[in-house]
Amino acid sequence: MRYFLFIFNMMIGLVFLFPTYCDARTLLPVHKIIIHKKDRKMQVYHQNKLIQVYKVALGFSPKGHKFQAGDGKTPEGKYNISAKNPNSRYFLSLKISYPNNQDKVKAYQGGVSPGGDIMIHGIGKQNGWLGQLHTKSDWTLGCVALTNEEITELYHATSVGTVVEILP
């Protein structure tokens, strides 16, 4: 019995001495994501309860709704997570279902392509050291960027079909 207690205490001690071996915090399953462009904030909900808030970077020209490919704007409207990419160039990514039918009609009427490939993603393996510094400016091509640690947390708690609302 003493031997068992000794081993048990040693294992508990290792957990406190080496916290990097512990798993990152796990979110409850995400049911809705709301992005407030003006505030550069992402709110994450489980059912109707706010469970996490992240600071984000947006497209390099974030004001207004995305109208065409290459405009640097982050879209505004109601979308869904349409795919998950574990091999993203930007660490991990969640694809947003932009353009929706309304976006396509507006672009078609304007004679332009609405663009696509709008993601919630990290900052890439090479840039992970930046952490929150990446939010000091809007640098994406229209996507929503989190730190690599934050996208890891969100990626694992989010399913295809999760509602994404992007507000001005």
CATH of the domain at 161: 2.40.440.10
Please give the DSSP secondary-structure letter assigned to residue 41: E
Give domain status of residue 15, yes or no. Answer: no
In a domain, 54, yes or no: yes
- Structural domain including 63 reads 26-167
Looking at residue 89, its pLDDT comes to 93
The per-residue pLDDT for 1 is 52
Rounded CA separation 86/73 (Å): 24
**Does residue 9 sit within a domain?**
no
The number of domains in the chain is: 1
Q: What is the pLDDT of residue 17?
A: 40
In a domain, 87, yes or no: yes
Q: Is residue 13 part of a domain?
A: no
Reading the chain (168 residues) residue by residue, the pLDDT tens digits are: 554 434 444 444 444 444 333 344 688 999 999 999 999 999 999 999 999 999 999 999 989 999 999 999 999 999 999 999 999 999 999 999 999 999 999 999 999 999 999 999 999 888 878 889 888 999 999 999 999 999 999 999 999 999 999 999
Answer whether residue 18 is part of any domain: no
Q: Which residues contact 74 (CB under 8 A, 6 or more apart)?
A: 35, 37, 58, 59, 62, 66, 118, 140, 142, 143, 144, 166
Cβ atoms < 10 Å from Cβ of 18? 9
In a domain, 10, yes or no: no
Structure tokens at 152: 């890891």
pLDDT tens digits, residue range 46-71? 999 999 999 999 999 989 999 999 99
Q: Is 79 left (phi over 0), alpha (psi -120 to 50) or beta?
A: beta
What global pTM score does this model have?
A: 0.82
Task: Tell me, yes or no, whether 50 lies in a domain.
Answer: yes
Structure tokens given for 153: 């947390």
